[in-house]
């Protein structure tokens, strides 16, 4: 199990764990947002790339609920990582938006956190039934995600709902729509302004445990109008298809 460790200094003593769910590892756009948020906090962290770990799916055996008091009985890389999640002061889920959720290898880890809960249930103030456990504790959790679609609302809703119901309703969330703009050098002025807002959000979260409403509004807003983004993205994929067809034709001897 390979973990990337960035040592804390005496001045920065928060134990922060970043769960990088992108298969692109350090080249992930989402991780770029996350490290910018971390810089805003003036903190360091341990980064785990879930794509490099062997994580079995949850078997729904309920041993962690009825036999082992919250300890999963499987033997894989998830065990060490679950322990790190338990002991961290702050867990940042750095996950790209895949099919309105997270990449499958990261979803397996999220499913395995069922061992943090208890089988007993209650009805919360929101009128929804919950399990007692992790979401009721003092653990700080932040969700940072990015996706290629042009809208936050309607696309990230399911992911945000899932994270908040699993890890606490006070979970801060940064969901970056139009993330394809980060791959285009000509839009750097736009993405740089977005990154400035992400860094500001990190500073605000460090100071108050939440993101200021004005900053959140900037993070939730599109970087360019939706219609322009859709037109540009569709044109880019059309060009990619054309180039791909050309390469295939060249190989057909």
Between 252 and 127, residue with greater pLDDT: 127
230 shares its domain with 212: no
Measured distance CA(216)–CA(209) in Å, rounded: 13
Give 144: exposed, middle or buried? Use CB within 10 Å, 0-12, 13-18, 19+: buried
Q: List, for residues 149-160, the tens digit of each pLDDT value.
A: 999 999 999 999
Q: How much is the pLDDT for 184? A: 83
136 shares its domain with 218: yes
206 shares its domain with 231: no
Rounded mean pLDDT, 220-227: 94
Domain count along the chain: 2
Q: Which domain holds residue 244?
A: 224-253
What's the pLDDT band for 1 if we cut at 50, 70, 90?
very low
CA 186, 190, 194 angle in degrees (round to 5)?
140
Rounded mean pLDDT, 99-121: 93
Q: List, for residues 153-211, the tens digit of each pLDDT value.
A: 999 999 999 999 888 888 999 999 999 999 888 889 999 999 999 999 999 999 999 99
Q: How much is the pLDDT for 134? A: 65
Query: Residue 10: is its pLDDT beyond 70?
Result: no
21 shares its domain with 136: yes
Computed over every residue of the chain, the mean pLDDT equals 88
93 shares its domain with 10: yes
CA 51, 139, 59 angle in degrees (round to 5)?
45
Q: How much is the pLDDT for 138? A: 54
């Amino acid at each position: 199990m390979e973990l990337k460790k960035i040592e804390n200094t005496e001045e920065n003593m928060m134990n922060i764990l970043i769960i990088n769910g992108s298969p692109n590892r350090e080249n992930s756009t989402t991780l770029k947002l996350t490290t910018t948020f971390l810089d805003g906090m003036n903190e360091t962290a341990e980064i785990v790339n879930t794509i490099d770990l062997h994580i079995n799916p949850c078997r729904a055996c309920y041993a962690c609920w009825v036999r082992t008091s919250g300890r999963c009985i499987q033997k894989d890389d998830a065990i060490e990582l679950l322990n790190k999640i338990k002991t961290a002061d702050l867990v940042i889920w750095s996950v790209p938006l895949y099919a309105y959720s997270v990449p499958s290898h990261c979803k397996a880890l999220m499913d395995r956190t069922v061992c943090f809960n208890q089988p007993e249930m209650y009805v919360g103030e929101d009128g929804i039934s919950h399990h007692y456990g992790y979401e009721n504790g003092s653990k700080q959790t932040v969700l940072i995600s990015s996706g290629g679609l042009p809208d936050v609302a309607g696309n990230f809703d399911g992911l945000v709902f899932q994270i908040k119901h699993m890890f606490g309703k006070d979970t801060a969330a940064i969901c970056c729509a139009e993330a394809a703009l980060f791959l285009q050098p000509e839009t750097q002025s736009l993405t740089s302004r977005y990154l400035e807002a992400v860094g500001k959000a990190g500073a605000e979260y460090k100071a108050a445990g939440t993101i200021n409403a004005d900053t959140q509004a900037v993070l939730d807003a599109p970087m360019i109008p939706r219609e322009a983004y859709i037109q540009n993205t569709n044109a880019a994929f059309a060009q990619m298809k054309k180039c791909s067809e050309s390469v295939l034709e060249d190989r057909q001897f």
